[in-house]
Structure 1
Amino acid sequence: MIDRYVRPEMSRIWTEEATFARWVAIESLVARVQAEHGIIPAEAAETIAATPGPDISDVREAERTRDHEVLSFLAAWTKAMPDESARWVHHGLTSYDLVDTGLGLAMRDAVDLVLDAARELYRVLARRALEHWDTICVGRTHGIHAEPIRFGHKLATLAFAVDRSLTRLSAVRESVAVGTISGAVGTYATTTPAVEAEVLAGLGLTAEPAPTQVVCRDRHAELVAALAVLGASVEQLALEMRLLQRTEVAEVEEPRTSAYQGSSAMPHKRNPTTSERLCGLARLLRANVGAALEDVALWHERDLAHSSVERVVLPDSCNLAYYQVTAATELVDGLVVNTDRMAENLGATRGRIFSAQAYLQMTRNGVEREHAYRTVQQASLRSLQQGTQFADELGKDGIAFDESALDPKVFLQDEDVVRTRLHERLREHGTVTRP
């Protein structure tokens, strides 16, 4: 992933340095456990654990004559050990005992970062929702003015979408925090389940219950899919902010720095570039899901078709999702809400957004439903075409419309149930709120 869309705390997990450091830690722990079980000499295990990891350049140089990354890593690392210790490195293991166990550690740590970031996004969305609970704006369906809603309700909808991704990602964390120390084709012919259990417990991983030679790739596909769903929820948020920033709407604005310049040609432009970027990154996350699903089906006990794919889609998806969520949090936290413009837009239809109240009032007064609907619909159409007030057009039809029904709060009388749910969920997340 290019540097433009990464945060250093996530990108560090996926560097070659971090990968080789994990391999050293795994090999060292395997050696220690094997020594405790009397499989290799204790002195060898001590030397293995004390030997620093190899330089990346040495691994790549070794790969020129081996064409095998794990063997090259082992060659570069063990050249600093005496022969009587070096021969016990990787004893009874196969390459993917190292690769997949290391990958389990990387994915676990990456999910932890995304979980922390998504929790913060949820908290910020919930806080801004409660802050604007009494801010009334027009609700829109199909892009058309519908009825009044609370701006806080709009943000609460987005908050609960992120919260559902937290549930998915928590489950995914268990799925990917898995390793294997089972040897070639997963039969424990050259190692033991006891060694595997102790090594994985020491790493904070669980074992693949029926290993082949690799950890099953449905786990990885589940991770990429969960990240894509989270990305789609962030996209939903960002798309809403884009739409609300249009000149004709102008109800919110992204936070800007003093250095902001929106256009090289038009100095007046204030474009929703952060929101647009978040929408674009969601497309990349979705595209990676297909590639991850293609990796699930491998030939027999394993092939290597998955390797080149996951070297790209796993780090890229984790980096993209983490960047997207942290950027969305910054956007929501600094979002400028134009309440005056929201109030102005509520009146843009000259009262037509209250058509449902007029229609229901007529039916309560004994008018047949279809006739009431058509009458109100025609009055609304005349108001639109002639630029007149909706209530005035109803009056021309002899309908005494109760003016109190034009109060937007009529639509919001029983909506505190949503606010209560938001408070309850915040408390479950450990955030103290006031009712």
Structure 2
Amino acid sequence: MIARYTLPEMGKIWDEQNKLRNWLKVEVAAAESWAELGKIPKEAVEKIKEKVKPYLEGEKEFDTKRIAEIEEVTNHDVIAFLTYIKEIVGDEAKYLHFGMTSSDMLDTAFALQIKQAGELLLKDIERVMEAIKKRAFEHKNTVMIGRTHGIHAEPITFGLKLAIWYDEMRRNYERLKAAVKRAAVGKISGAVGTFANIDPRVEEMTCKKLGIDYAKASNQVVQRDRHAEFLNALALTASSIEKFATEIRHLQRTEVREVEEPFRKGQKGSSAMPHKRNPILSERLCGLARVVRSASIVGMENVPLWHERDISHSSTERTVFPDACIALDYMLQKFANLMENLIVYPENMLKNLNLLKGLIFSQRVLLTLIEKGGLTREEAYAIVQENAMRVWNEGVEFKELLKKDERVRKVLTEEEIEEIFDLSYHTKNVDYIFKRVFGEA
């Protein structure tokens, strides 16, 4: 991912130094496990640990230039890495990678990166949820128009809209948490998963040391359905952020202007038009969601590897995993900031609510005519629609037409008609919904 969309903490998780550090963690943990089983000398492992400690703790950086030089000869990145570590460790390096295949180290280290990235993304989602919740309670009773097909439907509150967003992000949190648990698993089972040259206990002990689970069965690799699920969880989360950002973009249209992105001092909206205040962050989030979703397709394509493994997944995972995680981290943090500072215009919401001159109460008129007048649904619908079309075409007040319609007046008094146009009828269950979503109102 380009630096423009890379935030420091997630960037470090996917940088080359952290990748190599995780590789080394796996190799050292496996050697420790072998030593505990009495297969290799404990003294040798202690010497290894002493010499690589500065690299494991981040006090020293791996010489990536030297590793690249070795790889120019070996054409194999894992062998190049192990050769480089041998230059640091000396003869005891022969106990590293004992009985292992490259993917034992690679997939187990990859699990560590997935866990690290996943934990950060879960923290990001928590921040988004907290920001949404705060604004939802702030605007629990801020009445606005609900739109279906882009057209005015019935009254809602802005808080209810945000409660739906909160509930959706909670599902994203739960999905991602489960996906991280399933994807962040190691395997140290040898070239085809049979443990022919390695004790199965080494896998269990090593993964425990690393704080991850192990795959109960594997071939040369951890099965890629796990990784596909992780990427799908990222894609769904990104799609939710895009959905929210798209809503903000619609509500910021000049002729709507119910909400607006913050516009700081010195900010410019257009190189040509000085008056412009554009929803550029929301637009950017929508664009990045496409990047994250595209990774999920690659993840699905990586599931059907040949036989006990081919390497077709490797090149894709080196790009899509960092890009998807970094992009989503950026999206979540920027959206949290957007929600925390979103400008809301309740007066414009109320103004827009009245644009259709009362038509938004048509369903209540319909149901009241059926309930009190004994009309069939078809009869009541025809009366209401006939008056509604006059409002659309003539711009007259719906309420006044109903008061003049003899068919309506046979059923409803003027006071009963007035009562139908009470906004509180549509918001009476807000507290109930909030209790269901947040556990409080």
TM-score for both structures, normalised by structure 1:
0.95
Equivalent in the alignment of 1:61: 69
Q: 2:112 aligns with which of 94, 105, 111?
A: 105
- Segment drifting more, 386-395 vs 211-220: 386-395
Equivalent in the alignment of 1:28: 28
One-letter amino acid of the structure 1 residue matched with residue 378 of structure 2: E
Deviation at 1:49, TM superposition (A): 1.2
One-letter amino acid of the structure 1 residue matched with residue 98 of structure 2: H
SS in 2 for 1:256: coil
One-letter amino acid of the structure 2 residue matched with residue 179 of structure 1: G
Q: Does 1:392 align with 2:407?
A: no
One-letter amino acid of the structure 2 residue matched with residue 389 of structure 1: E
Equivalent in the alignment of 1:138: 145
Q: Does 1:190 align with 2:197?
A: yes
1:181-260 equivalences in 2 (<5 Å): 181-260=188-267
Q: Does 1:151 align with 2:151?
A: no
- Segment drifting more, 100-109 vs 286-295: 286-295
Deviation at 1:357, TM superposition (A): 1.8
Q: Contact between 2:68 and 2:80, CA under 8 Å: does it hold in 1? A: yes
Equivalent in the alignment of 1:428: none
- Segment drifting more, 12-21 vs 181-190: 181-190
Deviation at 1:245, TM superposition (A): 0.4
Instruction: Render the CA deviation track for 1:77-132: whole Å, top value 9, x for unaligned.
Output: 1112332x122221111111110000000001111111111111112111211111
Deviation at 1:216, TM superposition (A): 0.7
Equivalent in the alignment of 2:58: none
SS in 2 for 1:51: helix
Alpha-carbon distance between aligned partners in 2 of 1:207 and 1:8, rounded to the nearest angstrom = 29
Deviation at 1:205, TM superposition (A): 1.1
- Segment drifting more, 314-323 vs 55-64: 314-323
Deviation at 1:310, TM superposition (A): 0.7
Q: Does 1:88 align with 2:95?
A: yes
Instruction: Render the CA deviation track for 1:50-91: whole Å, top value 9, x for unaligned.
Output: 2234411111010010000000001111112332x1222211
SS in 1 for 2:88: coil
Deviation at 1:186, TM superposition (A): 1.4
Alpha-carbon distance between aligned partners in 2 of 1:172 and 1:383, rounded to the nearest angstrom = 52
Deviation at 1:366, TM superposition (A): 2.3
Q: Contact between 1:126 and 1:422, CA under 8 Å: does it hold in 2? A: no
Instruction: Render the CA deviation track for 1:200-230: whole Å, top value 9, x for unaligned.
Output: 1000111111110111111100000011011
Equivalent in the alignment of 1:38: 38
Q: 2:354 aligns with which of 315, 339, 347?
A: 347
SS in 1 for 2:89: coil
Instruction: Render the CA deviation track for 1:261-283: whole Å, top value 9, x for unaligned.
Output: 11111111111111111111111
Q: Contact between 2:263 and 2:277, CA under 8 Å: does it hold in 1? A: no
Q: Contact between 1:31 and 1:48, CA under 8 Å: does it hold in 2? A: no
Equivalent in the alignment of 1:411: 426
Q: Which sections of structure 2, spanning at least 5 residues, go unmatched? A: 56-61
SS in 1 for 2:152: strand
1:321-340 equivalences in 2 (<5 Å): 321-340=328-347
One-letter amino acid of the structure 1 residue matched with residue 5 of structure 2: Y
- RMSD of the alignment, in Å? 1.3
Q: Contact between 2:262 and 2:342, CA under 8 Å: does it hold in 1? A: yes
One-letter amino acid of the structure 1 residue matched with residue 342 of structure 2: L
- Segment drifting more, 50-59 vs 326-335: 50-59
Alpha-carbon distance between aligned partners in 2 of 1:385 and 1:82, rounded to the nearest angstrom = 88
- Segment drifting more, 96-105 vs 368-377: 368-377
Equivalent in the alignment of 2:178: 171
One-letter amino acid of the structure 2 residue matched with residue 159 of structure 1: Y
SS in 1 for 2:310: coil
Alpha-carbon distance between aligned partners in 1 of 2:288 and 2:362, rounded to the nearest angstrom = 40
Equivalent in the alignment of 1:431: none
Alpha-carbon distance between aligned partners in 2 of 1:333 and 1:315, rounded to the nearest angstrom = 27
Residue identity over aligned pairs, in percent, reads 42
Q: Contact between 1:197 and 1:207, CA under 8 Å: does it hold in 2? A: yes
Equivalent in the alignment of 2:435: 420
One-letter amino acid of the structure 1 residue matched with residue 30 of structure 2: V
Alpha-carbon distance between aligned partners in 1 of 2:292 and 2:435, rounded to the nearest angstrom = 33
Which segments of structure 1 move beyond 3 Å, counting only runs of 4 or more? Answer: none
How many correspondences in the alignment?
425
Instruction: Render the CA deviation track for 1:368-402: whole Å, top value 9, x for unaligned.
Output: 32122111111111112111111122233223451
Q: Contact between 1:358 and 1:376, CA under 8 Å: does it hold in 2? A: yes
Instruction: Render the CA deviation track for 1:329-375: whole Å, top value 9, x for unaligned.
Output: 11111111100101111111111111112222222222332122111
Q: Does 1:128 align with 2:143?
A: no
- Segment drifting more, 412-421 vs 294-303: 412-421
SS in 1 for 2:146: strand
Equivalent in the alignment of 1:19: 19
Q: Contact between 2:27 and 2:97, CA under 8 Å: does it hold in 1? A: yes
Alpha-carbon distance between aligned partners in 2 of 1:87 and 1:139, rounded to the nearest angstrom = 68
Q: Does 1:370 align with 2:378?
A: yes
One-letter amino acid of the structure 2 residue matched with residue 239 of structure 1: T
- Segment drifting more, 72-81 vs 241-250: 72-81
Alpha-carbon distance between aligned partners in 2 of 1:372 and 1:87, rounded to the nearest angstrom = 87
SS in 1 for 2:95: coil
Alpha-carbon distance between aligned partners in 2 of 1:163 and 1:78, rounded to the nearest angstrom = 47
Deviation at 1:417, TM superposition (A): 1.6
Q: Contact between 2:246 and 2:286, CA under 8 Å: does it hold in 1? A: yes
Alpha-carbon distance between aligned partners in 1 of 2:90 and 2:318, rounded to the nearest angstrom = 33
Equivalent in the alignment of 2:59: none
TM-score for both structures, normalised by structure 2:
0.94
Q: Contact between 2:225 and 2:300, CA under 8 Å: does it hold in 1? A: yes
Alpha-carbon distance between aligned partners in 2 of 1:87 and 1:286, rounded to the nearest angstrom = 43
Equivalent in the alignment of 2:10: 10
One-letter amino acid of the structure 2 residue matched with residue 380 of structure 1: A
